[in-house]
Structure 1
Amino acid sequence: MSSLPAFVVSHPMAVGAPGRPLAWRAGQSVDLATFIAHVHGLAQQLPDGRHAVNLCEDRYRFMVAFYACALRGQVSLLPSSRAPAVVGEVQARHADAYCLGDLALELAPPRYWQLPAELPQAGGPMPQLADDALVAIGFTSGSTGSPQPNPKTWGSFLTSTRQDLVALESLWAHTDAVPHVVATVPPQHMYGMELSVLLPMVTTLAVHAGRPFFPDDVAHALAEIPEPRLLVTTPVHLRALVESGVQLPPLAGIVSATAPLAQDIAAAAEARFGGEVREMFGSTETCVFAVRRTALEAAWTPLPGVRLETQAAGTLVHAPHLATPVLLADMMDVAADGRFQVRGRQADLLEIAGKRASLADLTRRLLAIPGVIDGTIVQLTPDPGQAVGRIAALVVAPALDEAQILAALRISVDPVFLPRRLRKLPALPRNETGKLPRDVVLGLLNG
């Protein structure tokens, strides 16, 4: 007996009327119909290949290239950094991979293809993408080790992004309109992918094409889009906005992720800018799966259908968009109602001389010292013959010397956990999402 062909579930690339805004560029809207024409046009011109590393700086061009690759059946590779060495490693690990971008690069990677200055257009229907189509491979940041690949299907992306929409839509529900988004996080990062590349596909919101960095640039980008406005950012950017004194246009809300957001910064941002600050919790492996209003609460609320299961090695995340549960290294205290608090990563938990602490808590206490602008505390690899690695710190504190920093830490930190090596720097080498790759930190401490 012949078997029936497998039934393939497909989903449209985007929702909404052809004339609805999808993006904003230089104060002008780009409608959905134009975007789809650009996707069809670029898909016809893409080089042949199984994998494409998307290095586009302009968010709209990134979106066009990402969806053109998906239409061609090519998998987009999303490295944690666009540094040449990182891109080269990702490219070398995947067969038949090329790179594409929107700029002429001085140090271009192998098989680099630059998008045309004017994006081509071609006619065609709304593309349909199969539920099980592999559309992207995201890579972890390397903040706790070497970057690891995480494949993403179109179906899993849609399910997780619709969950994000559920978590955020109350921010603008009172306006009877969908928001327009400015994002400071790069689209290559999974958080940036979810909230600025995928979210405009599952609802009718529009996204600004830029990636503003400095506070004045953020204010200018927000002024280029209409209300209601949603700012998608990181703790590093949000702290800079609060401390800069910049005036922002009215906001429906602010979203933060990629690193823990200090409660005082969240409260200050709400007081200064008017919109609620909603922090999202997730990872490259899981995408976003929990949310909280950091100014008012410490516990996280899982998104619908998400269940956490504590393990000796971390926490197992069950979610509708995950084919199988994912084990995270984060240690969590899960309440009976499912809400949870994060105690730190398994690798961050310290036990020295019978006493316990976490690197996350030590870093928080370092950052709370008046005069400390930025900093991080890590545990070094044990020296030969030693069972425990030394504690070390990188600190940005122009007005303080090392003795003053250690004296301030000594007030709230047990002496066994005080940094034995402390290096002051003008600035920490954070990547585009504010994270500190561990190999870079160790290089600075050992240099």
Structure 2
Amino acid sequence: MRAAPLQSPGEPAGRPLLVRDDPDAMLAWHQGKAVTVAGFLAEVAAVAERLPEASAALNLADDRYAFSVLFCALLWRGQTNLLPSSRSPAAIAAVAAAFPGCQEVDDADARSRLVTAHPEPLSWPRIAGGITALVACTSGTTGEPRCWPRSWDLACQAHAGSRLRLQSWFGSRFSVVATVPPQHMFGWEFTVLLPLQSEVCVHAGRPLFPADIAAALAEMPAPRVLVTTPLHLRTLAASGMALPPLAGILSATAPLDEELATIVETRLGAPVYEIYGSTETCAIASRRTIEGAWWQPMPGIRLRPGPEGCEVTAAFMQHSFWLGDLIELDATGERFRLIGRQQDLLEVAGKRMSLAALNRHLLAIPGVVDGVALQQAPGRGGVGRIAALVVAPGLDEATILDALRRQVDPVFLPRPLRRVAVLPRNDTGKLPRAVLLAMLQAGRPGTTDVQSEDEDRPAGRAAAAMDSPAAP
């Protein structure tokens, strides 16, 4: 079957797959060489011809360029990209079960016949706006995993505000290197959709180690932007690795504290911007972390605070979305401050604290490499204990608790506190809640518990805890 633009005679013009004027412009850097817009489209067409018939496909490509080729080839054929929250067998199986008959595609499926020159004439494909371009699945960090469909038209409109914001920071042409996978919505929006809908070019790799990040950046033309997470920034800052000049850094998937942002900006000489969003909405706000707690919504986005979270609206949305984050608007109503998740708030004996704040104090303890506090399921009395899993090879539990006691009220000390060798973070640093609870309940060999001296106090009131020091 020959691939053709998904446009029937009676339909509107649709949206272009790529917004580019120059077929010879660089779209990506792949395996040591530049890939032009024309070369990319030729490869997409070749791969689309060989795709089997199906309504949807799990796009499991690890290479960012291969993922983009497959994403566009599936879209061109009218098939939906299914994006699991991770590449774990359980996550893939869950999505496959929800979409019977779907196929799986990976890096090998993106290897088309060698294309040395693009065919003439090469037409720019247009995609019917109503087609379901992707279904993005959440990781279950704050509850049960869910899947969210998004049409091609909605995806492009939702991204328009973010594109304008980035252009105001970096200009219309810049290069992107990313440490986040393309299946995650942050990675997908800013490393797959962005190059398709702008003049941005992207590196195909996903470097994780500081030396690999430096090497990937060195391959890309300036100005350069690094798309990453607080977890990777913490490692990068600790390494002392020098990087090629950066125009800026984008961080998401977890809150970035001001101290780390300041260190990163000082050492790398580039502004650090945080992106706030969700799987349901894509990116909806941004801030420069060192400038304070106030977020600026993306153009066209409106947020309204409510008792259980915040409502997100935009002209292009078919309906509003409610997120579980509590917010406070400033006097102008144009900016907002994140207070925390409703289920993240703890209230004990008239005292209040959030699990996010508790996590920040935990991670600030010298010798703590990683850690997370979370609320267990309610037990006797209808409340759940606060517990913690900590990676701290040189510390014992009593020392960790003593350090934490100096920073927080004793009623909020975790019990139990368990040391572990490593936390089960996924590709973006998130921690699925179900896995954390299983680790607490399993009493795995090599882990130890310590009960707080304040164990007889009530644990407080909170629903499902945040997965990590993280926001959506």
Shorter chain as denominator, the TM-score bin is over 0.9
Aligned to 2:128: 130
1:335 aligns with 2:330: yes
Contact (CA 8 Å) 1:289, 1:302: kept in 2 or not?
A: yes
Q: Distance in 2 between matches of 1:53 and 1:342?
A: 34
Q: Which residue matches 2:216? A: 221
The answer on 1:289 being equivalent to 2:284 is yes
1:18 paired with 2:23, answer yes
Alpha carbons 1:27, 1:225 under 8 Å: kept: no
The answer for the alignment partner of 1:153 in structure 2 is: 151
**What is aligned with 1:106?**
none
Q: Which residue of 2 aligns with 1:300?
A: 295
Q: Give a deviation string over 1:156-196, Cα, whole Å, max 9, x none.
A: 111122211111123323xxx61111011000000101000
Quote how far apart the aligned CAs of 1:316 are: 0.6
Contact kept? 1:41, 1:119, Cα under 8 Å: no
How far did residue 336 of structure 1 move? 3.0
- CA distances 1:355-392 after superposition (whole Å, capped 9, x unpaired): 32211111111112222221110000012x33100000
Q: Distance in 1 between matches of 2:170 and 2:304?
A: 32
What are the superposed Cα offsets for residues 9-53 of structure 1, whole Å, 9 maximum, x if unpaired? 511111221000000013311000011111111111001111100
3-state SS in 1 of match to 2:290: coil
Identity across the alignment (%): 49
Uncovered stretches (5+) of structure 1, i.e. residues with no partner: 104-113
Matched, 1:360 2:364: no
Q: In the alignment, residue 160 of structure 2 is paired with which amino acid?
A: R
Question: Under a length normalisation based on structure 1, what TM-score does the superposition of the two structures give?
Answer: 0.93
Q: Could you tell me which amino acid in structure 1 is paired with residue 194 of structure 2?
A: L
- Per the TM alignment, residue 7 of structure 1 is displaced from its structure 2 partner at its CA by 5.2
Q: Paired residue for 1:32?
A: 37
The corresponding residue for 1:111 is none
Are the equivalent residues in 2 in contact too, given 1:286–1:322 (CA < 8 A)?
A: no
Contact 1:179–1:206 under 8 Å retained in 2: yes
Aligned partners of 2:115 and 2:71: how far apart in 1?
A: 15
Contact in 1 for aligned 2:148/2:279 (Cα 8 Å):
yes
Q: Which residue of 2 aligns with 1:206?
A: 201
Partner of 2:5: none
Q: 1:376 to 1:230 in 2, by over 3 A?
A: same
Corresponding residue for residue 425 of structure 2: 430
TM-score, normalised with respect to structure 2 = 0.88
Deviation at residue 354 of structure 1 after TM alignment: 3.5
Given the alignment of the two structures, is residue 272 of structure 1 paired with residue 267 of structure 2, yes or no?
Answer: yes
> Which residue among 65, 74, 79 is the counterpart of 1:74?
79
Shift of 1:59: 0.5
- CA distance, structure 1, for counterparts of residue 78 and residue 331 of structure 2: 44
In structure 2, the CA distance between the partners of 1:217 and 1:149, relative to structure 1 (3 Å rule), is same
Q: Is the 8 A contact 1:300 1:340 kept in 2?
A: yes
Structure-to-structure mapping, 1:374-389, within 5 angstroms: 374-383=370-379, 385-389=380-384
SS at match of 2:237: helix
Q: Is the 8 A contact 1:300 1:341 kept in 2?
A: yes
CA contact (8 A) 1:182 1:207 kept: yes
Q: CA RMSD in A?
A: 1.7
Query: Which residue, 363, 370, 374 being the options, matches 2:366?
Result: 370
Secondary structure at the residue paired with 1:395?
A: strand
Separation of aligned partners in 1, 2:376 and 2:167: 43
1:168 counterpart = 2:161:
no
Q: Would you say 1:59 and 2:72 are equivalent positions? A: no
Answering whether residue 344 of structure 2 is matched by residue 344 of structure 1, we say no
Displacement of 1:399 after TM fit?
Answer: 2.1
Unaligned runs of 5+ in 2: 1-8, 443-472
Q: Distance in 2 between matches of 1:74 and 1:211?
A: 26
Q: Tell me the distance in 2 between the aligned counterparts of 1:253 and 1:162.
A: 19
- Aligned partners of 1:119 and 1:77: how far apart in 2? 27
| 1:244 Cα deviation from its structure 2 partner | 0.6
Contact 1:42 1:119 in 2 (8 A): no
Contact 2:309 2:342 in 1 (8 A): yes
